[in-house]
């Protein structure tokens, strides 16, 4: 059973990529619906299995690590797999209606979409440093392809910037992997950890971790390296932006976080951890500030992503040389932040897409009076915004709460200020959109009304982000599931 | 001034980076732990179905990487052809009247085809394999293309897409088929390993060549007029 | 089952309180005018008929309500009900259609407050009804809508609010000191409280605003004259007494001798009695003169209150005298005010009769023998005799009273004089005349049939005072008449001089 | 779980579901929307009545589950929560009726009523919250659901007010969150408990506790409009009248005040707060706010602005009451939670009626409006007198009880504050009433509309009258069981002898 | 100091050069070439660093092979994008951004 679930997870996206490659957009949509169904079922099934039986290692091709590639199927991984299934299917369904089927190049949307999905699954489950690299590239290239789809100059510039950043990030990561392999002679993270368990920490290996984290931070758009993100996320089609912001940046962060959690204690140091935290904080403040100042709706949302990603990097200082419980709180908080940001940001981008579609312009000013005619999408946008503002009962709030507790618990009170200021700034940019939309315009309904299904999808995502806060304990309980070292189906 | 400062800063950063990297490499080389991976590998080489360890790693032990790698290629191909013009590839300016090139084409193309085949075959026990073969094949295509051979199948159509997907699909099918047979994924049924790897390699060669060629073709030439596409939505 | 008295009591308050609801229906507005005299009737019946010791518990009301009747309250209730009845009759004839509805509404509310506070024994309902009366009274004061009325109303309101605040503070402090919500428990608690003087000051000042205590009085000559005549009558006759009642039921009479406060009150009373006269005789408006007269009369009452405070032994006796005097003054002043609104009939005899009837209550006020005034003045004199009182300033009381009597008559004469200048000839509406006549009648005649024989208050009235008493009543009056004559002469001379 | 566990949830859900249904209804579904609104309000009211009775009998209502690790979501009905819940349930019904009339023929009603219900759901949640965390959850939800109501008109002015509102409240929320998180770090997940938790707290954490208390009050004080944090309230009066009514009377300011009550009584415990020395400064602050609000109200020419400053002043009564150490004063403060609500909603309803019927916004336009609109004006008069503290109305009961309590607690200066405030209230309300009743109207009204027989639309006419009657009744019948005063005394009793 | 270590150190230097190129150069094609140089450096480090008694380690070689494919795919895609970008905007770099015109409906 598990075997089939794994197969479904790893290979159906690839298979669907091929299938959709051979069809045009409309048929691709039909095929995709089927694929989404399969993916959601499989992800759910795996999640349930893990929730019931605990996690396990899965060796591909019958080869165990270190010889072969071993996947690590634990609670966190399957949670993200499920998250991906939810968000990606929402984006897929939305895109099926949103994207104009008559443009010939849109047929390539589906294969890229499915490759992206498969790449994500690779990253969530990956336990092998090099395999993760390939997964990352899979994600990056398909994401670049999606951004560039349609090929206008602006989109091309954005995607080129994105591509170069992604490639550089991957290379730096790969350099780290090279050093790692040189040092430890294995590519499996678990192998490295167990090696470190019996040997003293070797000198010079800190750079490997630093390189890997730096590369990943670049791909995650951590503060000074964030400049590629807003153009790319802002200019892509809304469902694509949603995918990018919700999942793609999370993939690289997820890898960085895993590396840090497994190897940070032996290989990292306090200054680095604080530095990363500081950069994250700077991202929170700077990103939010810029988001407040963007004239274009999707740029606002994109800069908001920069800010929200900043929170994620608080994981580094909050888990380095702190007590077990604080570290756990921080991990839980970051996990929730990832999930809730994924849901909320996807909802936000999709809703923003609807708003742009109906207002006929990307500018914030153009939204004047939209609240009167498009309350549903606006409401979804707002609900998602609530989660970004980390107000209760959203997942964003639960996340922030845990991070606050972790900061207090570890005595690093300065992060608290960051979180509070960040929350307020995010409120500022969210309310800026509200403000524009609530402004009464004298004119009659001049808005295009998108299809109902377009409006429903972001709402569902936003509600999920909202409900996450209420159910966060249950969600997080998966993380604490037993993990059978070396266990295999 | 700013420019000077900037270049100074970048240079410094790069030198520092290089220095750190080199130091780190030096240190690691000094105290590295010789892992048991190569031994493990040579122990398991028999079961891999190919004699050459690199190919074994690529197509058996870490075949998942390879599968995804082909995926990356396909993605690049897709993203590339999504940019391509839909207009005819028959570009009169490209057809060369250069007799040297023409001769080169006549002589080299068959040679290169043979070379590609050899590289593919050699991958089993020597350095070489699908990618090398594919690259040579693609180079052949480039040569033809530069010579003005239209190569209709490179037009973004079903044929091209089939070509792009072929290698990948076969690889994937093999992976799943092995599971249907009751084994793990990407595990080759014992005995058929060699055959399957050869099949995979050959289709991969085709696909790789196709992707590279498609990407080559997709890039617009310098002064081609392109009034319609991309400028409107 | 509620006793009839309880039903009456509730009715007495509820009837005028709900009466404004008639204003909601336009068709009933006409009927409102004629309902005015009926409103105080249940209270009247209650005042006459209630058993001594009747009480009504209303545990749900505010902080627990209790309404009851004792002799003091009976007198005040009687005064209030009678005066409002006659003024109601008068008003039915007096009112024009202009803003009739509004007038009736405030009339009802003020009446409800005035009646209710008289029977209320718990702090909550007493204070509530007191406030109701105060605030609704504003509507009566400013009714005419002239600039004067508005100005008077503003002053009235400011003073009233300040007074209310003082009362609230005093009651609050007293209530906490007594740990009780009943008025009856307050005097003892105040006497024993460490904040005694503060509470007393607050209460004296608070109720003093209403009672026209000097320095707190100045709203009164503004407000009483500008109000419609029947309203002036009840303001001056009944509502001013509510302040007095407030003192009587809250201050610690009989609990402790407070010579200091007593002296203060006596001084205040003296200043009020004489100062108001000095100011009053210089007024041009008849109703203003009457208002000063009210202050002056209240000054006399304050004298007695001061005496009662200073001498705890004599307090019960003085209480009855005060109540008696209040009753007398209320009725007489009511009829005087009402007379300010009538017009003279044609025909000399009738005119003379009218003038007589106008003058008689005034003279009664001054202590004309065989009137209620004589009775009151005599009783007052008796009670304030020096040898019976035991405090420092007692010796000044008698001369003060004489001066007060002189002042009273002077003011009455001045009133008649100014009225003479203003009064017009014409027909009176029948209701107006009826009301006025009733008021005069009550003041002069019915006074003697009122239920006097109540234990502990006043001896049954003596029809014919002894000779020395007659003289005692008469000589201040003669002085006053002489003074008035001198003044008249002087003014003639001055006028002639100025004409030349 | 038993039914009792679910009743609070149902009470919460009625308005939440109503809100969702309303959002889904089309703009034109006027009749259905009205019925949904009223139906939900009635259902909620009856649930609250059931709970009030149950709490009186000592039944435990509540449920809890872990939301975030280490933190539970607790809904619980105790005497205090029922007070607030009762207030919001009753006034929701009335305000809904009023709003239906008020917004007749205006755009965006679907949006309005949706957020309106959401706002009430949040209020209910605040009332029923069983710990600070849950409280905070609904507290922030309230902020968000009121924003669209404040900016409902969509004018520049409204949006500016909305921005001010949001800046204030969200900053307050952030401070509150900090305080709650800190408290959680210091003492763990604390349920609201009568008598509080820190009766015999470790002296080592006293400093932290004091700081946390300051933060908590600062965070909650924004909504409660305590002095330096009140700036948003007068601006927010640009909202439609029912919203102002709700904002001022029930939801927002009360949420802040209620929160402070919870913190003082059920988190710290009144004795512990007193021992920490935080109550007296709070009392001074509240007293200052009372006077400050009144002074500012004096100089306002806009009716609703005047009422808004009056709110600033009045809400601090609640805080003053609870920060005086003693059960009587506490009862006085608590009862004002209800009394102020009833009175202030009356006033805002009336202000809305004047604006809607005659186009009157400024006070100098009100001359003679009493004759044109006697019913509304009577209600206004009663409400204003209640605010002044004239007996026997609601405000008097408050002042009397609080004054008695202050004296019992030997804090005589409070009397001065109460009286001065009454004087100031009189100073800014009495002239208004004079204009209403005794001035002649100035010819024509700014913008008059006619509704046939009644002076204004029936939807607008009855709610203020009803609340005016309630203003009288809660005062006159203060000694009945289940009257606000009795209930407040019950709470105070439970708080002081847990 | 073995020969393979030399490769690795050379790789490090290549990495530095490539990084410099990526940061400094603005022409997109040059950037791309710099990327490839850096990529080569990384591959050199990867192959050169692991040293074993039994000769070269085949695993990093396989990895590098995969890496090369990926790099080639990316490079090819980048070239297509650069060409197209140049074709549409006439620009060879990213820095001199024109005033971004308002974007119409998607």
Rounded to 5°, the CA angle D306-D311-D315 comes to 160
- CB-based contact, B17 to chain E, within 8 Å: yes
Measured CA to CA in angstroms, residue C482 lies from C297, C400, D321, D333 at distances of 21, 19, 64, 64
Alpha helices, H only, D251-363: 252-261, 270-276, 279-298, 303-323, 327-353
pLDDT category at C388 given cuts 50, 70, 90 is low
Rounded to 5°, the CA angle C148-C150-C154 comes to 115
User: What is the SS3 string spanning B140-204?
Assistant: HHHHHHHCCCCCHHHCCCHHHHHHHHHHHHHHHHHHHHHHHCCCCCCCCCCCCHHHHHHHHHHHH
How far away is chain A from the Cα of D186, in angstroms, using its nearest Cα? 9
Distance CA A23, CA A19 (A): 7
What's the pLDDT tens digit per position in B72-96?
Answer: 888 888 888 887 654 444 455 555 5
Chain A neighbors of B60, CB-CB under 8 A:
61, 63
pLDDT at res. C187: 85
Tell me if E78 and A164 make a contact (CB, 8 A cut-off).
yes
C393 versus D258: which is more confidently predicted? D258
Tell me if C135 and D385 make a contact (CB, 8 A cut-off).
yes
| D374-377 LR contacts (CB < 8 Å, sep 24+) | D374/C23, D374/C24, D374/D455, D375/C24, D375/D454, D375/D455, D375/D461, D375/D464, D375/D465, D376/D349, D376/D350, D376/D455, D376/D456, D376/D461, D376/D464, D376/D465, D377/D350, D377/D436, D377/D437
Q: Report the chain D residue with the minimal C-alpha distance to residue A440.
A: D154
Which one, of B77, B15, B23, B70, lies nearest residue B201 by Cα? B70
Q: How far is CA E97 from the centre of its chain?
A: 24
How far away is chain E from the Cα of B189, in angstroms, using its nearest Cα? 22
- Answer yes or no: is B227 within a domain: no
pLDDT at res. A281: 92
Tell me if A148 and E28 make a contact (CB, 8 A cut-off).
no
pLDDT at res. B35: 64
| Residue E43, C-beta contacts closer than 8 angstroms, at least 6 positions apart | E11, E64, E67, E68
- Answer yes or no: is E102 within a domain: no
pLDDT category at B152 given cuts 50, 70, 90 is low
pLDDT at res. A203: 75
Supply φ then ψ for residue A188, to 5 degrees: -80, 130
Distance CA A260, CA A276 (A): 11
Q: Report the chain A residue with the minimal C-alpha distance to residue E103.
A: A362
Residue-by-residue DSSP string for C153-198: HHHHHHHHHHHHHHHHHHHHHHHHHHT-SBGGGHHHHHHH-TTHHH
Span of A422-431, C334-343, D203-212, E94-103 with lowest mean pLDDT? E94-103
Supply φ then ψ for residue D342, to 5 degrees: -65, -45
Neighbours of chain B (3+ CB pairs under 8 A): A, E
Distance CA A13, CA A19 (A): 10
Tell me the pLDDT of chain D averaged across its residues.
Answer: 86
- CB-based touch A/D (3+ pairs, under 8 A): yes
> Is the pLDDT assigned to residue C162 strictly greater than 50?
yes
- Answer yes or no: is E97 within a domain: no
Distance CA C464, CA D24 (A): 92
Radius of gyration of chain E (CA): 18
> Is the pLDDT assigned to residue B41 strictly greater than 50?
yes
pLDDT at res. C1: 52
pLDDT category at E53 given cuts 50, 70, 90 is low
> Is the pLDDT assigned to residue D348 strictly greater than 80?
yes
> Is the pLDDT assigned to residue C468 strictly greater than 70?
no
Query: Which H/E stretch holds residue D66?
Result: strand D61-68
> Is the pLDDT assigned to residue C382 strictly greater than 80?
no
- What share of chain E in percent tops pLDDT 70? 81
Chain D neighbors of A462, CB-CB under 8 A:
none
pLDDT at res. E100: 41
Nearest residue, CB atoms, E106 vs list A144, A168, A353 = A353
> Is the pLDDT assigned to residue C451 strictly greater than 80?
no
Supply φ then ψ for residue A55, to 5 degrees: -85, 170
pLDDT at res. B229: 40
Distance CA B52, CA C379 (A): 138
| Unique residue bearing structure tokens 């999606």 | A146
Rounded to 5°, the CA angle B208-B212-B214 comes to 115
Average pLDDT over residues A22-32: 85
pLDDT category at A123 given cuts 50, 70, 90 is very high
> Is the pLDDT assigned to residue C456 strictly greater than 70?
no
pLDDT at res. A216: 92
C369 versus A116: which is more confidently predicted? A116
User: What is the SS3 string spanning chain A?
Assistant: CHHHHHHHHHHHHHHHHHHHHCCCHHHHHHHHHHHHHHHHHHHHHHHHHHHHHCEEEEEHHHCCCCCCCEEEECHHHHHHHHHHHHHHHHHHHHHHHHCCCCCHHHHHHHHHHHHHHHHHHHHHHECEHHHHHHHHHHHHHHHHHHHHCCCCHHHHHHHHHHHHHHHHHHHHHHHHHHHHHHHHCCCEHHHHHHHHHHCCCCCCCHHHHHHHHHHHHHHHCCHHHCCCHHHHHHHCCHHHHHHHHHHHHHHHHHHHHHHHHHHHHHHCCHHHHHHHHHHHHHHHHHHHHHHHHCCEHHHHHHHHHHHHHHHHCCHHHHHCCCCHHHHHHHHHHHHHHHHHHHHHHHHHHHHHHHHHHHHCCCECHHHCCHHHHCHHHHHHHHHHHHHHCCCCCCHHHHHHHHHHHHHHHHCCCHHHHHHHHHHHHHHHHHHHHHHHHHCCCCCCCCCCCCCHHHHHHHHHHHHHHHHHHHCHHHHHHHHHCCECCCCCC
Neighbours of chain E (3+ CB pairs under 8 A): A, B
Nearest residue, CB atoms, B79 vs list A67, A112, A130 = A112
Q: How many residues does chain B have?
A: 233
Neighbours of chain C (3+ CB pairs under 8 A): D
pLDDT at res. C2: 67
Q: Which two tokens stand for residue C270?
A: 């003296």
What is the residue extent of each domain of chain D?
3-496
- Answer yes or no: is E101 within a domain: no
Tell me if A391 and D141 make a contact (CB, 8 A cut-off).
yes
Average pLDDT over residues D252-273: 88
A63 versus D490: which is more confidently predicted? D490
Chain E neighbors of B208, CB-CB under 8 A:
69
Measured CA to CA in angstroms, residue C72 lies from B149, C75, C314, C318, D37 at distances of 128, 5, 16, 12, 57
| Residue A440, C-beta contacts closer than 8 angstroms, at least 6 positions apart | A369, A372, D153, D154, D155
pLDDT at res. E95: 67
- What's the pTM value of the predicted model, to 2 decimals? 0.86
Nearest residue, CB atoms, E77 vs list A141, A152, A357 = A141
Q: Which two tokens stand for residue D85?
A: 């819940």
Average pLDDT over residues B39-55: 75
Span of A408-417, B177-186, C306-315, D386-395 with lowest mean pLDDT? B177-186
- CB-based touch D/E (3+ pairs, under 8 A): no
User: Per the omega criterion (within 30 degrees of 0), is the bond before A66 cis?
Assistant: yes
> Is the pLDDT assigned to residue C131 strictly greater than 80?
yes
pLDDT category at C469 given cuts 50, 70, 90 is low
- Answer yes or no: is E78 within a domain: yes
pLDDT at res. B94: 55
What's the pLDDT tens digit per position in A303-324?
Answer: 999 999 999 999 989 888 888 8
- Answer yes or no: is B7 within a domain: no
Average pLDDT over residues C246-252: 86
- Answer yes or no: is B39 within a domain: no
- What share of chain D in percent tops pLDDT 90? 6
pLDDT at res. B230: 37
Span of B229-233, C266-270, D439-443 with lowest mean pLDDT? B229-233
D288 versus D25: which is more confidently predicted? D288
- CB-based touch A/C (3+ pairs, under 8 A): no
What's the pLDDT tens digit per position in A187-239?
Answer: 888 888 888 888 888 877 788 889 999 999 999 988 888 888 888 888 888 88
- Interface mutation vs chain E, best among B12, B24, B72, B154, most E CBs within 10 Å: B72
Q: Report the chain B residue with the minimal C-alpha distance to residue A99.
A: B233
> Is the pLDDT assigned to residue A173 strictly greater than 90?
yes
Tell me if B79 and E77 make a contact (CB, 8 A cut-off).
yes
What's the pLDDT tens digit per position in A145-159?
Answer: 888 887 778 888 888
pLDDT at res. B63: 81
- What share of chain A in percent tops pLDDT 70? 97
pLDDT category at A278 given cuts 50, 70, 90 is very high
> Is the pLDDT assigned to residue D306 strictly greater than 50?
yes
The domain tally of chain B equals 1
**Range(s) of the domain holding residue B74:** 47-218
Tell me the pLDDT of chain A averaged across its residues.
Answer: 85
Tell me if C161 and D404 make a contact (CB, 8 A cut-off).
no
CATH number at residue E42: 1.10.287
How far away is chain E from the Cα of B178, in angstroms, using its nearest Cα? 23
**Range(s) of the domain holding residue E66:** 3-89
Average pLDDT over residues C349-354: 84
User: Per the omega criterion (within 30 degrees of 0), is the bond before D27 cis?
Assistant: no
What's the pLDDT tens digit per position in D361-413?
Answer: 888 888 888 888 888 898 999 999 998 888 888 888 888 888 888 888 888 88
pLDDT at res. E76: 87
Q: How far apart are the first and last CA of chain D?
A: 27
What's the pLDDT tens digit per position in D9-64?
Answer: 888 888 888 888 888 777 777 888 888 888 888 898 898 888 888 888 888 888 88
What's the pLDDT tens digit per position in A324-340?
Answer: 888 888 888 898 899 99
pLDDT at res. E98: 45
pLDDT at res. C100: 81
Which one, of A38, A216, A13, A251, lies nearest residue A124 by Cα? A251
Tell me if E17 and B28 make a contact (CB, 8 A cut-off).
no
How far away is chain D from the Cα of A208, in angstroms, using its nearest Cα? 34
pLDDT at res. B95: 57
The domain tally of chain E equals 1
């Amino acid at each position: 059973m598990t075997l089939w679930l794994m197969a479904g997870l790893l290979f159906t996206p690839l298979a669907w990529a091929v299938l959709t490659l051979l069809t045009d957009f409309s048929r691709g949509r039909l095929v995709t619906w089927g694929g989404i169904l399969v993916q959601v079922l499989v992800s759910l099934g795996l999640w349930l299995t893990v929730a019931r039986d605990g996690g396990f290692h899965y060796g591909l091709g019958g080869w165990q690590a270190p010889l072969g590639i071993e996947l690590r199927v634990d609670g966190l991984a399957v949670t993200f797999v499920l998250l991906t299934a939810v968000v990606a299917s929402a984006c897929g369904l939305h895109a099926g209606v949103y994207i104009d089927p008559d443009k010939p190049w849109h047929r390539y949307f589906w294969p890229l979409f499915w490759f992206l999905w498969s790449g994500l699954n690779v990253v969530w489950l990956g336990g092998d440093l090099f395999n993760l690299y390939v997964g990352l590239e899979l994600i990056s290239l398909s994401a670049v392809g999606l951004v560039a789809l349609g090929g206008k100059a602006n989109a091309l510039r954005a995607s080129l910037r994105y591509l170069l950043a992604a490639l550089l990030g991957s290379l730096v990561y790969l350099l780290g992997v090279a050093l790692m392999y040189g040092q430890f002679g294995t590519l499996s993270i678990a192998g490295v950890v167990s090696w470190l368990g019996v040997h003293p920490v070797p000198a010079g290996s800190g750079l490997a971790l630093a390189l890997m984290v730096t590369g990943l931070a670049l791909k995650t758009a951590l503060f000074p390296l964030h400049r590629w993100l807003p153009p790319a996320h802002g200019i892509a089609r809304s469902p694509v932006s949603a995918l990018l912001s919700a999942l793609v940046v999370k993939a690289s962060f997820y890898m960085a976080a895993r590396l840090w959690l497994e190897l940070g204690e032996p290989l990292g140091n306090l200054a680095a951890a604080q530095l990363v935290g500081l950069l994250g904080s700077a991202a929170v403040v700077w990103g939010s500030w810029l988001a407040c100042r963007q004239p274009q709706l999707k740029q606002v949302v994109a800069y908001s992503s920069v800010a929200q990603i900043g929170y994620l990097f608080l994981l580094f200082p909050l888990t380095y040389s702190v007590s077990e419980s604080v570290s756990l709180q921080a991990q839980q908080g970051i996990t929730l932040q990832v999930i809730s940001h994924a849901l909320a940001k996807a909802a936000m981008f999709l809703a923003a897409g609807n708003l742009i579609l109906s207002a006929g312009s990307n500018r914030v000013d153009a939204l004047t009076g939209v609240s009167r005619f498009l309350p549903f999408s606006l409401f979804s946008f707002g609900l998602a915004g609530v989660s970004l503002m980390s107000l209760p009962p959203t997942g964003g709030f639960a996340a922030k709460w845990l991070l606050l507790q972790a900061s207090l618990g570890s005595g690093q009170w300065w992060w608290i200020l960051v979180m509070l200021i960040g929350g307020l700034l995010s409120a500022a940019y969210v309310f800026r959109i509200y403000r524009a939309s609530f402004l009464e315009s004298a004119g009659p309904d001049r808005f295009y009304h998108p299809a109902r299904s377009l409006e429903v999808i972001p709402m569902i995502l936003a509600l999920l982000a909202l409900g996450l806060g209420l159910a966060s304990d249950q969600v997080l309980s998966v993380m604490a599931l037993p993990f059978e070292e070396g266990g295999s189906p | 001034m700013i420019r000077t400062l900037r270049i100074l800063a970048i240079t410094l950063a790069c030198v520092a980076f290089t220095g750190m990297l080199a130091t780190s490499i030096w240190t690691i080389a000094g105290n590295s732990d010789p892992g048991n991976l190569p031994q493990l590998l040579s122990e398991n080489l028999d079961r891999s179905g190919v004699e050459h360890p690199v190919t074994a790693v690529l197509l058996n032990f870490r075949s998942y990487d390879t599968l995804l790698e082909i995926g990356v290629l396909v993605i690049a191909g897709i993203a590339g052809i999504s940019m391509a013009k839909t207009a005819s590839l028959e570009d009169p300016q490209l057809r060369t009247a250069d007799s040297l090139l023409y001769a080169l084409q006549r002589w080299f193309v068959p040679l290169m085809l043979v070379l590609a085949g050899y590289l593919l075959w050699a991958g089993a026990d020597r350095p070489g394999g699908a990618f090398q073969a594919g690259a040579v094949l693609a180079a052949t295509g480039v040569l033809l293309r530069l010579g003005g051979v239209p190569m209709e199948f490179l037009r973004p159509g079903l044929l091209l897409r089939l070509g792009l997907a072929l290698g990948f699909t076969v690889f994937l099918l093999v992976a799943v088929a092995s599971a249907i047979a009751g084994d793990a994924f990407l595990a080759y049924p014992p005995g058929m390993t060699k055959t399957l790897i050869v099949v995979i390699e050959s289709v991969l060669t085709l696909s790789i060549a196709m992707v590279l060629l498609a990407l080559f073709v997709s890039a617009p030439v310098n002064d081609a007029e392109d009034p319609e596409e991309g400028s409107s939505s | 089952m509620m006793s009839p008295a309880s039903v009456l009591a509730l009715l007495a308050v509820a009837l005028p309180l709900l009466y404004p609801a008639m204003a909601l229906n336009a068709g009933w507005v006409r009927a409102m005018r004629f309902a005015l005299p009926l409103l105080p009737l249940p209270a009247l019946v209650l005042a006459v008929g209630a058993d001594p010791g009747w009480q009504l518990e209303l545990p749900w009301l505010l902080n627990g309500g209790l309404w009851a009747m004792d002799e003091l309250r009976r007198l005040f209730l009687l005064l209030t009900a009678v005066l409002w009845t006659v003024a109601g009759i008068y008003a039915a004839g007096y009112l024009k259609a202009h803003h009739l509805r509004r007038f009736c509404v405030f009339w009802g509310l003020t009446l409800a407050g005035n009646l209710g506070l008289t029977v209320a024994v718990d702090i909550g309902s007493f204070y509530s009804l007191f406030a109701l009366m105060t605030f609704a009274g504003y509507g009566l004061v400013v009714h005419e809508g002239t600039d004067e009325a508005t100005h008077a109303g503003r002053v009235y309101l400011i003073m009233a609010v300040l007074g209310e605040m003082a009362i609230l503070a005093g009651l609050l402090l007293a209530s906490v000191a007594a740990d009780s919500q009943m008025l009856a428990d307050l005097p003892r608690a105040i006497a024993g409280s460490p904040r005694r003087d503060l509470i007393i000051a607050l209460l004296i000042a608070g109720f003093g605003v209403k009672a026209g205590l000097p320095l707190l009085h100045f709203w009164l000559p503004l407000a009483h004259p500008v109000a419609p005549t029947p309203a002036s009558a009840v303001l001056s006759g009944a509502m001013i007494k509510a302040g007095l009642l407030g003192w009587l039921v809250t201050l610690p009479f009989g609990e402790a001798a407070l010579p200091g406060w007593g002296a203060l009150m006596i001084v205040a009373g003296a200043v009020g009695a004489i100062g108001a006269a000095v100011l009053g005789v210089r007024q041009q408006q008849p109703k203003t003169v009457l208002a000063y007269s009210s202050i002056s009369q209240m000054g006399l009452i304050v004298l007695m209150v001061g005496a009662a405070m200073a001498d705890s032994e004599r307090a019960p006796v003085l209480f009855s005298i005060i109540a008696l005097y209040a009753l007398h003054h209320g009725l007489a002043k009511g009829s005087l005010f009402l007379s300010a609104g009538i017009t003279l009939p044609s025909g000399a005899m009738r005119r003379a009769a009218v003038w007589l009837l106008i003058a008689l209550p005034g003279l009664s006020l001054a202590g004309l023998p065989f009137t209620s005034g004589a009775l009151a003045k005599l009783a007052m004199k008796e009670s304030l005799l020096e040898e019976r009182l035991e405090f420092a300033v007692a010796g000044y009381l008698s001369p003060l009273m004489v001066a007060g009597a002189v002042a009273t008559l002077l003011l009455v004469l001045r009133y008649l004089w100014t009225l003479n200048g203003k009064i017009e000839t014409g027909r009176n509406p029948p209701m107006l005349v009826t009301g006025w006549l009733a008021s005069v009648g009550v003041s002069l005649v019915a006074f003697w049939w009122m239920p006097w024989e109540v234990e502990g208050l006043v001896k049954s009235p003596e029809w014919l005072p002894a000779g020395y008493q007659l003289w005692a009543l008469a000589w201040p009056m003669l002085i006053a008449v002489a003074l008035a004559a001198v003044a008249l002469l002087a003014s003639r001379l001055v006028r002639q001089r100025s004409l030349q | 779980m038993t039914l009792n566990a679910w009743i609070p949830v149902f009470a919460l859900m009625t308005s939440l579901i109503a809100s969702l249904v309303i959002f889904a209804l089309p703009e034109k579904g006027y009749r259905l929307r009205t019925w949904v609104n009223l139906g939900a309000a009635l259902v909620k009211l009856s649930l609250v009545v059931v709970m009030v009775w149950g709490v009186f009998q000592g039944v435990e209502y509540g449920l809890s589950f872990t939301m975030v690790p280490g933190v539970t979501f607790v809904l619980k009905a105790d005497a205090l929560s029922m007070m607030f819940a009762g207030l919001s349930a009753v006034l929701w019904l009335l305000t809904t009726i009023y709003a239906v009339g008020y917004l007749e023929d205006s755009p965006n009603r679907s949006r309005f009523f949706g957020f309106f219900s959401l706002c009430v759901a949040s209020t209910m949640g605040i009332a029923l919250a069983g710990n600070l965390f849950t409280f905070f959850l609904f507290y922030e939800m309230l902020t968000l659901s009121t924003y669209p109501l404040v900016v409902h008109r969509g004018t520049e002015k409204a949006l500016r007010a909305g921005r001010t509102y949001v800046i204030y409240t969200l900053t307050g929320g952030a401070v509150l969150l900090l305080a709650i998180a800190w408290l959680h770090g210091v003492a763990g997940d604390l349920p609201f408990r009568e008598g509080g938790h820190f009766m015999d707290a470790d002296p080592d954490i006293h400093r932290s506790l004091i700081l946390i208390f300051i933060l908590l009050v600062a965070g909650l004080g924004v909504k409660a409009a305590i002095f330096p944090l009140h700036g948003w309230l007068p601006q927010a009066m640009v909202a439609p009248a029912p919203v102002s009514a709700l904002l001022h009377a029930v939801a927002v300011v009360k949420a802040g005040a209620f929160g402070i009550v919870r913190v003082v009584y059920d988190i710290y415990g009144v004795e512990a707060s007193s021992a920490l020395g935080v109550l007296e400064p709070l009392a001074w602050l509240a007293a200052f706010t009372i006077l400050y609000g009144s002074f500012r109200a004096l100089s306002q020419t806009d009716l609703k602005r005047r009422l808004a400053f009056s709110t600033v002043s009045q809400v601090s009564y609640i805080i003053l009451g609870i920060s005086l150490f003693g059960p009587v004063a506490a009862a006085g403060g608590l009862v004002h939670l209800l009394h102020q609500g009833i009175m202030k909603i009356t006033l805002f309803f009336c202000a809305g009626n004047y604006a809607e019927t005659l186009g009157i916004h400024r006070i100098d336009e009100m001359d003679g409006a009493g004759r044109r609109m006697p019913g509304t004006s009577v209600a206004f008069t009663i409400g204003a007198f209640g605010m002044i503290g004239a007996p026997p109305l609601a405000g008097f009961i408050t002042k009397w009880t609080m004054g008695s309590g202050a004296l019992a607690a030997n804090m005589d200066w409070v009397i001065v504050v109460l009286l001065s405030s009454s004087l100031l209230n009189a100073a800014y309300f009495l002239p208004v009433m004079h204009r209403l009743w005794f001035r002649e109207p100035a010819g024509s009204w700014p913008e008059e509309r006619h509704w046939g027989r009644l002076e204004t639309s029936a939807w607008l006419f009855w709610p203020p009258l009803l609340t005016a009657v309630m203003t009288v009744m809660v005062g006159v019948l203060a000694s009945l069981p289940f009257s606000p005063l009795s209930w407040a005394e019950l709470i105070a009793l439970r708080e002081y002898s847990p | 100091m073995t020969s393979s270590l030399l490769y690795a150190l050379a790789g490090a230097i290549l990495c530095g050069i490539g990084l410099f190129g990526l940061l400094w150069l603005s022409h997109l094609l040059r950037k791309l070439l710099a990327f490839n140089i850096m990529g080569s450096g990384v591959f050199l480090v990867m192959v050169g660093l692991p040293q074993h008694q039994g000769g070269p380690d085949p695993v990093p070689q396989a990895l590098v092979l995969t890496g090369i494919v990926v790099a080639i795919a990316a490079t090819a895609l980048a070239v297509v994008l650069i060409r197209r970008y140049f074709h549409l905007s006439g620009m060879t770099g990213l820095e001199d951004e024109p005033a971004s015109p308002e974007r119409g409906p998607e």
